[in-house]
């Protein structure tokens, strides 16, 4: 991992991507053009008491300190006043804390906003096309969304002159069922939670909730099963788990289509998160794209929007590097 790390720390900066499950880090050489992320590594967040401990562990493995020119960390949740309390963990982090660690400049950005900046520069082998071979339109607005520990949503808004990443909390909009089965799923989850958001279904824990609800609808025992087990069993051919994952992918397609409409994402929709790459074969064969396009009078509008699944690990670090470049250019 450390082969490219220089012995001196001058001109180096940290980029990070910290969510409810994983903490990912990389380095950027500020003397390179364009900026390139290297020495990337992922950790389990539960191994550390605080985000700062994870950062120190990463740099410590490289024989480095936090005395770098800058740091930009993409975080899972809304950044308010330069600080975040993570949505799906008990962590918190602030720009002030990063500067106190020794970084020359520091910024926190929403993780899906970072993915929005990364999306246009991803290579063909970084993504997987789902649906018809519709080309991406680099000058049009793009949407980025996906299920992992939670459900993230962002967009790269374009007007032909400039581009800006929109950080949203779209994963917490209300879930809209698409057929009788999903109406029953909604009823079951409403009894449990009251309001049911998209994230209640389209995330790791949501996959388990969906599996349990579908078993209840079929009148079968509904013991809880971990999402990792569900995906493993589905990939191994277990029909019950396969139906759950197929339903999950169909709902994901419907939600992705709704956001494409809401954001005017004619340039393309990128599906991110940890779950889709793991079940990419099932997703490609599922009703994902049919549900994406099934928007009544706007079916022809939807048919012209490309959909891609981000397969590249650490993609948010690329967007964090973009934000780092902007941060350092200010000062």
Per-residue model confidence as pLDDT tens digits over 76-124: 888 999 999 987 788 999 999 999 999 989 999 999 999 999 999 999 9
How confident is the model over 150-170, as pLDDT tens digits?
Answer: 999 999 999 888 899 999 999
The domain in which residue 182 lies consists of: 124-310
Residue 200 inside a domain? The answer is yes
For position 191, which CATH number holds?
A: 3.40.367.20
Q: What is the pLDDT of residue 1?
A: 42
Q: Which pTM does this prediction carry?
A: 0.91
As a whole number of angstroms, the distance between CA 55 and CA 34 comes to 24
| 2 confidence band (pLDDT: 50, 70, 90) | very low
Q: What are phi and psi of 197, to 5 degrees?
A: -90, 170
**SS3 of residue 268 by DSSP:** strand
Residues 266 and 131 both lie in one domain: yes
Statement: residue 3 has pLDDT above 70: no
Residues 70 and 186 both lie in one domain: no
Would you give the DSSP letter of residue 17? E
Residues 17 and 38 both lie in one domain: yes
Would you give the DSSP letter of residue 174? B
Residues paired with residue 92 on neighbouring β-strands, in sequence order: 85
Which of 19-28, 29-38, 153-162, 186-195 comes out lowest in average pLDDT? Answer: 29-38
Residues 154 and 222 both lie in one domain: yes
Residues 141 and 290 both lie in one domain: yes
For position 32, which CATH number holds?
A: 3.30.420.40
Determine contact, residues 225/214, Cβ cutoff 8 Å: no
Largest CA distance in the chain: 64
Q: What is the pLDDT of residue 30?
A: 84
Residue 324 inside a domain? The answer is yes
Residues 199 and 284 both lie in one domain: yes
Q: What angle do CA 227, 233, 235 make, to 5 degrees?
A: 105
Count Cβ atoms within 10 A of the Cβ of residue 215 and give its class: 0-12 exposed, 13-18 middle, 19 or more buried.
Answer: middle
**SS3 of residue 225 by DSSP:** coil
Top-confidence residue, 222 or 168: 168
Residues 300 and 320 both lie in one domain: no
Q: What is the pLDDT of residue 4?
A: 57
Statement: residue 7 has pLDDT above 60: no
Residue 3 inside a domain? The answer is no
Residue 6 inside a domain? The answer is no
Residues 321 and 304 both lie in one domain: no
Residues 267 and 318 both lie in one domain: no
Residue 4 inside a domain? The answer is no
Q: What is the pLDDT of residue 31?
A: 83
Tell me how many domains the chain contains. 2
Residues 177 and 86 both lie in one domain: no
Residues 164 and 57 both lie in one domain: no
Residues 132 and 268 both lie in one domain: yes
């Amino acid at each position: 991992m450390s082969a490219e790390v220089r012995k001196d720390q001058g001109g180096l900066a940290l980029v990070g991507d910290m969510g409810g499950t994983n903490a990912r880090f990389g380095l950027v050489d500020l003397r390179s053009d364009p900026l390139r992320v290297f020495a990337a590594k992922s950790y389990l967040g539960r191994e550390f008491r605080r985000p700062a401990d994870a950062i120190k562990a990463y740099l410590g493995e490289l024989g480095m300190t936090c005395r770098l020119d800058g740091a930009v960390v993409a975080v899972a949740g809304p950044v308010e006043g330069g600080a975040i309390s993570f949505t799906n963990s008990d962590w918190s982090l602030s720009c002030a804390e990063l500067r106190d660690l020794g970084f020359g400049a520091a910024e926190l950005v929403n993780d899906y906003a970072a993915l929005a900046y990364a999306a246009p520069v991803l290579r063909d082998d970084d993504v997987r096309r789902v649906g018809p071979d519709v080309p991406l339109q680099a000058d049009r607005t793009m949407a980025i969304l996906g299920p992992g520990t939670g459900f993230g949503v962002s967009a790269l808004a374009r007007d032909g002159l400039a581009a800006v990443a929109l950080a949203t909390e779209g994963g917490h909009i209300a879930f809209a069922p698409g057929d009788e089965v999903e109406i029953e799923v909604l009823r079951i989850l409403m009894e449990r939670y009251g309001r049911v958001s998209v994230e209640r279904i389209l995330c790791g824990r949501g996959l388990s909730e969906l599996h349990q609800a579908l078993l209840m609808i079929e009148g079968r025992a509904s013991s809880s099963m971990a999402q990792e087990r569900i995906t493993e069993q589905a990939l191994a051919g277990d029909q019950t788990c396969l139906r759950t994952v197929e339903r999950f992918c169909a709902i994901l397609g419907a939600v992705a289509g709704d956001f494409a409409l809401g954001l005017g994402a004619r340039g393309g929709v990128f599906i991110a998160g940890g779950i889709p790459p793991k079940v990419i074969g099932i997703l490609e064969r599922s009703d994902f794209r049919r549900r994406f396009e099934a928007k009544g009078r706007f079916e022809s509008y939807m048919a012209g929007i490309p959909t891609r699944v981000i397969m590249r690990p650490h993609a948010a670090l690329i967007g964090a590097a973009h934000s780092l470049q902007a941060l350092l250019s200010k000062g």
